Chains A and B, each alone.
Chain A
């Protein structure tokens, strides 16, 4: 499975690491939906760190597409909220 962190790199993760990735993402969603802004940076940072620490960077000249694309590390709490309410990080 290839995961891209937008604005950074693509990482190759083992398929059995997807479950943990899902858990971490749900933790972020809980924080955002619960309006707990002070917990956001930590929760989102944990998700990104998991990818950075467990993934192997994909070579720059590798033309494979990502299975998952994570928003950039400087995503704000407000932007994360918009991801759920329709406006989205990049307007369609």
Chain B
């Protein structure tokens, strides 16, 4: 077969023959092969542990983002009911980003779970083949002449070698995916470290870099919709009064709003 399968088969066979080239004496080949197989099994276990570690890391990030979503939602409501629409909008923009990241993390955790399962299955198959090889090698040693033993060893070792090469490939793919996810997870960590999902009371006057980036990241219509919905729930009144609210003219809720008009740090003082 040409194309896809031909190349794949060639590559795996090349890897297997490399494994078998080392020794010339049949008994030595047998023991060497078996020793390599057991080593490889240990590597597979390590690989599975790495995938699990990566998954746990993503799950911890999920938990932290879930908390941020709840917190930002609460802050948006508080800001809105105290008449700070700008602040509420910022909170919702951040919530929107956190939710998007959360969805992506959820998908990645699912993918890692699949991969972990596949690797575990492959490990079991490899273990069964190694065990079969161990039994067979004693039979070969006891029953066959050197020349015939060589052929049978080669057959048996090829069978194990193919499984090993395949597990190796699956691990490589899992590690590559994990690396990609790690890069993404690091990016989220940086956003978190920069306070993106954190305390809105730290938002200074005017628009900073984070806010500008967030506006690009978060889908504006979704934020608008959610803000409108929240207004309806809180009952802050009609669209016409919204402008007054954001301008801080409806001072009843918070007398300490800075004259600069921006929904700044002190705007949140009421909830401390």
Question: Interface residues, chain A, CB within 8 Å of chain B?
Answer: 4, 6-9, 21-22, 25-26, 28-29, 60-72, 74, 80, 83-84, 88-90, 92
Q: Does B160 contact A (CB under 8 A)?
A: yes
Verify A63–B132 contact, CB threshold 8 A: yes
Bound CA–CA A84/B129 (angstroms): 32
Q: Are B162 and A70 in contact (CB under 8 A)?
A: no
Q: Which B residues lie at the A interface, using CB under 8 A?
A: 1-5, 7-9, 11-12, 14-16, 118, 122, 124-125, 128-129, 131-133, 136, 155-156, 158-160, 162, 166, 169-170, 172-173
Residues in A whose Cβ lies below 8 Å from that of B14: 92
What distance in Å separates the Cβ of A24 from its nearest Cβ neighbour in chain B? 11
Could you tell me the distance between the alpha carbons of A74 and B14 in the complex, rounded to whole angstroms? 23
Taking a contact as CB atoms under 8 Å apart, the answer to whether B136 and A29 are in contact is no
Total residue contacts A-B, CB cutoff 8 A: 94
Q: Kindly state the separation between the CA atoms of A89 and B172 in the bound complex, as whole angstroms.
A: 11
Give the CA-CA distance A15 to B83 in the complex, in Å.
Answer: 77
> Which residues from A are CB-within-8-Å of B156?
63
Tell me the bound Cα distance from A62 to B37 in angstroms.
15
Contact of A61 among B4, B11, B122, B129 (CB under 8 A): B129
Q: Are B169 and A68 in contact (CB under 8 A)?
A: no
Interfacial chain B residues near A8, Cβ < 8 Å? 118
Residues of A with C-beta under 8 A to B128: 60-61
- B136 with A68: CB separation less than 8 A: no
In the docked arrangement, what's the CA distance between A21 and B1, Å?
10
B162: A residues at CB distance < 8 A: 4, 65-66, 69
| CA distance in complex: A21, B166 (Å) | 21
How far does the alpha carbon of A80 sit from the alpha carbon of B4 in the complex, in Å?
Answer: 7
Taking a contact as CB atoms under 8 Å apart, the answer to whether A60 and B1 are in contact is no
Q: How far does the alpha carbon of A64 sit from the alpha carbon of B29 in the complex, in Å?
A: 18
Q: Are A69 and B155 in contact (CB under 8 A)?
A: no
Which one of A9, A65, A68, A90 has the greatest number of beta carbons of chain B within 10 Å? A65
Contact A7 B122 (CB under 8 A): yes
Write the nearest CB–CB distance from B123 to chain A, whole angstroms. 11
Q: How far is the CB of A28 from chain B (nearest CB, A)?
A: 6
Q: Are B11 and A89 in contact (CB under 8 A)?
A: yes
Q: How far is the CA of A8 from the CA of B173 in the complex (A)?
A: 13
Task: Taking A65-B155, A89-B8 as given, write out 17 further A-B residue pairs in contact, using a Cβ cutoff of 8 Å, ordered by the A residue number.
Answer: A7-B122, A25-B4, A60-B128, A61-B131, A62-B159, A63-B136, A63-B158, A63-B159, A64-B155, A66-B162, A68-B1, A68-B5, A69-B9, A74-B173, A83-B4, A90-B169, A90-B172
